[in-house]
Structure 1
Amino acid sequence: MEPTGPDHPTRDAGFGIYLHWPFCASKCPYCDFNSHVRHAPVDEPRYLAAFRAEIAHVAARTPGRTVTSVFLGGGTPSLMRPETVAGLLEAVAAAWAMAPEAEITLEANPTSVEAGRFRGYRTAGVNRVSLGVQAFDDASLKALGRLHSAAEAFEAIRIAQTAFARTSFDLIYARPGQTPAAWRAELTDAVARAAEHLSLYQLTIEPGTPFFGLAAAGRLVPPDDEVSRALYDVTQDVCGAAGLPAYEISNHARPGAQSRHNLLYWRYGEYAGIGPGAHGRLVTGAGRLGTVTERAPEAWLARVEGAGHGIVETETLAAADQGDEFLMMGLRLSEGIDPARYAALKGRPLDPARIEALVGDG
């Protein structure tokens, strides 16, 4: 059995629960996430029962943990009824101890933001909301395939900040035709509206998405490397001046307002992945395990109803892989990584000569 005290290199970042709700009202043309559009109403009670079963299965493998964060991601979790969210969170609290200050985040789209529904989520136990705004002007929102207008986005931000003490919203930049001056104006407006946290992602053209086909056909031209770099520099400049410095490549926060759940990933903590297509990293007597669940929602549902869980892949991670994952995740953070933790995971220290060569290259 591995040691599990405070010095254990994979335990000290906390224990998180990721709950994947895979349904969306529409599929955005840039999105390669595991999200699905269903034109018939989703049977929420049936899915909730399956989530309860999978939570119980994972909890049996991870006794004695204290949950430090829960993240309801998707898909669009804000399409769920508040009673369903309450049922999910009750199942988590029944399976593990909850830290008194556990961060419980729900992702929402502006089209599904209603004041009453948000009060319902707060009553259910959600204490942080992350809004998928993506742009502050209607033309860009339309081009990105979003269903909401800029006015709806502004109202959603206002409602979220009224209902919750902790909020964040996402924007996508490096959009086709976007100039650094236009991005500076949009971002200046965004930081004025942001309470404590912003996620700012450069548009990436992912294989298998409609945008990939358009780009290949020359009908969608993202900014070149030079303009992309200028847009990145504007991002750091505007956010830094507003007191929202980057703590991770794409994430900006006031001091103390970082996303604790995402920090858990980047600090290589332990987390359970529950729901269709969710990934987990669990520390057991057999070592650190990587888990993956069935990706297709209906197939996951059938598997859980038959076997009690939807996990289709469990891999015991070798020390070399753990060290590499820890390094890859940790170097996304402005705080960097602790070389001693790397050595404990990898089984050997970082090579000082290689580090010296990289520093020499700038």
Structure 2
Amino acid sequence: MNQALHPSGITAPGSILPDTGKPGFGIYLHWPFCAAKCPYCDFNSHVRHTGIDQQAYIDAFRKEIGAMRTLTGPRVVTSIFFGGGTPSLMAPATVGAILDAVREAWAVPDGIEITLEANPSSVEAERFRGYRQAGVNRVSMGVQALNDPDLKRLGRLHNRADALKAIGLARDIFPRMSFDLIYARPDQTAQAWAAELEEAISLAADHLSLYQLTIEEGTPFHGLYKAGKLIVPDGELSAELYELTRQVCTSHGLPAYEVSNHARPGAESRHNLTYWRYGDYAGIGPGAHGRLTTGAGKIATATERHPESWLKLVAEQGHGMTESTALSAAEQADELLLMGLRLREGIDLRRWQLLSGRSLESERTGFLIEHGMIEEMGPDRIRCTPAGMLLLDAVVADLAT
């Protein structure tokens, strides 16, 4: 495939899924349960050893989907994503019932991307086939490491053999698959990460999500880190690992299209692009967040995080939403900047200016361009450089001021 190259050597945005200015309408469905809580995880996930009444959750999802439909009116869905938690702990029939409810509420064209997150420890061939029959056509797996010592250190329930088996099953059963790895792990060297990354690329079909380990407050890893019992790579080595990741993936035809996501051109996650291009998405299930355009403007939504409390709230009021906040045009402009600058394609300045009601100060952008943090891609688009991506929060804060 011939790919147009930007002068920086990065594939130009025309060769990936195009930004048409209509980011789409995604459905995010949060399944909050895990078999165990990983020591680095601060996601809304919960362990239940007494079993889960999946029918009760199907009924509650149906009600909350109906409430969201009332907010959005008729829409055409462009992607659906089951996240968690561990959605691969759901029975295939549960996935099918929830997808049926989505189809009843909105128009769902054939062939749109429907992703389900899975952990290798909860993967069975029959369950995967059941998800495929229910309509799932993309799976995203939390592999996190390809060696047993690091998997154990990360608190994962699977081993290397489980991961390789799950990857093989996913490639056989689903049209599209991706898996996650964590790098900048304790004691990890650049040489070891390069070798692991080469193996991951050989196993991946067309997409990899590669995240630097972050120490989040409130997690067991945070306590160990504060006590000096968990040593992670310093800033210099982390930057080296980040640059190595970009170089190795690009050399194998999987350039970074977002800070942590790499894909062959055209294989980017449709659903995640909806987030980063600042489209609409309905967040459904315990602890789900959403952004919806209603007759009164764009709103931010959030639901009750605790699963059983969410069930009770849905039974009482027909949905589990605890927040529904109107977003001002200025707030939307800031969110567009924050999300869009994560992407290699950057942001459309015309859209930002329409929301913000102002232009970016030439002095401010000139300073960032001069210092190699951002670059112009024609008169109406800017993006972060690879160096700017390392300081993304600071760049966004500078531009949004």
Q: TM-score, normalised by structure 1?
A: 0.96
Letter in 2 for 1:124: A
How many residues in Structure 1 have an aligned counterpart in Structure 2? 354
Q: For residues 194-221 of structure 1, what are the alpha-carbon distances to aligned partners after superposition, in whole Å with 9 as ceiling and x for unaligned?
A: 0010000000000000000000000001
Query: Structure 2 regions of 5+ residues with no counterpart?
Result: 1-18, 373-401
Instruction: Name the structure 2 match of 1:274.
Output: 284
Shift of 1:268: 0.1
Shift of 1:314: 0.7
Please, which of 22, 42, 45 is the counterpart of residue 12 of structure 1?
22
Q: Find the aligned partners of 1:83 and 1:100 in 2 and give their Cα distance.
A: 20
What pairs up with 1:111-260 in 2 under 5 angstroms? 111-260=121-270
Instruction: Name the structure 1 match of 2:337.
Output: 327
Shift of 1:63: 1.4
Please, which of 55, 75, 88 is the counterpart of residue 78 of structure 1?
88
Q: Find the aligned partners of 1:165 and 1:345 in 2 and give their Cα distance.
A: 38
- Preserved contact between residue 105 and residue 130 of structure 1 (Cα < 8 Å): yes
Q: Find the aligned partners of 1:328 and 1:144 in 2 and give their Cα distance.
A: 29
- Preserved contact between residue 10 and residue 268 of structure 1 (Cα < 8 Å): no
Please, which of 339, 357, 360 is the counterpart of residue 349 of structure 2?
339
Shift of 1:101: 3.0
Shift of 1:179: 0.2
Shift of 1:11: 7.7
DSSP-derived class of the 1:27 partner:
coil
Q: Find the aligned partners of 1:65 and 1:246 in 2 and give their Cα distance.
A: 31
Query: Structure 1 regions of 5+ residues with no counterpart?
Result: 1-8
Q: Does 1:291 align with 2:301?
A: yes
Shift of 1:71: 0.3
What percentage of aligned pairs have identical amino acids? Answer: 63
Shift of 1:10: 11
Q: Find the aligned partners of 1:287 and 1:348 in 2 and give their Cα distance.
A: 20
Letter in 2 for 1:27: K
Instruction: Name the structure 2 match of 1:40.
Output: 50
Q: For residues 205-261 of structure 1, what are the alpha-carbon distances to aligned partners after superposition, in whole Å with 9 as ceiling and x for unaligned?
A: 000000000000000011001111111111011101111000000000001000000
C-alpha RMSD of matched pairs (Å): 1.1
Shift of 1:351: 1.9
Q: TM-score, normalised by structure 2?
A: 0.87
Structure 1: which 4+ aligned runs deviate by more than 6 Å?
Answer: none
Shift of 1:349: 2.2
DSSP-derived class of the 2:30 partner:
strand
Letter in 1 for 2:267: A
Q: Find the aligned partners of 1:254 and 1:285 in 2 and give their Cα distance.
A: 38
Pair 1:71–1:83, CA change in 2 (3 A): same
Letter in 2 for 1:354: R
Q: For residues 331-357 of structure 1, what are the alpha-carbon distances to aligned partners after superposition, in whole Å with 9 as ceiling and x for unaligned?
A: 000000000010112122222221111
DSSP-derived class of the 1:58 partner:
helix
Instruction: Name the structure 1 match of 2:117.
Output: 107
Please, which of 316, 324, 328 is the counterpart of residue 306 of structure 1?
316
Shift of 1:99: 2.6
- Which of the pair has the greater relative contact order for Cα pairs under 8 Å at 6+ separation? 1
Q: Find the aligned partners of 2:29 and 2:359 in 1 and give their Cα distance.
A: 35
Q: Find the aligned partners of 1:70 and 1:268 in 2 and give their Cα distance.
A: 16
